């Protein structure tokens, strides 16, 4: 089931990324959409975050090819 969820999430992100840029989708727009949605398909432990309102930080080391997309 986990593989199906990740696969579904990946293709959902790919399809969603097409709407980010009308007609033109870059490699990094697809990757950004995948990364953005990936966390919703993870079975997080109840003790992972302090509360349901806690934020998650995503850091990019080095040059940032995503720009404002991520």
Domain boundaries, the chain: 1-70
d(CA 11, CA 28) in angstroms, rounded, equals 15
The number of C-alpha atoms within 13 Å of 14 and in the hemisphere containing its C-beta is: 7
CA nearest 33: which of 54, 47, 15? 15
- Comparing 15 with 44, which gets the higher pLDDT? 44
User: Is the model's pTM score more than 0.85?
Assistant: no
Write down the mean pLDDT value for the chain.
76
């Amino acid at each position: 089931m986990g593989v199906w969820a990740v696969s579904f999430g990946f293709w959902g992100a790919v399809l969603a990324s097409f709407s980010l840029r009308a007609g033109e989708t870059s490699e990094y727009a697809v990757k950004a959409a995948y990364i953005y949605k990936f966390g919703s398909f993870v079975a997080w432990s109840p003790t992972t975050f302090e509360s349901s309102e806690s934020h998650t930080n995503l850091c990019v080391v080095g040059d940032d090819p995503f720009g404002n997309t991520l």
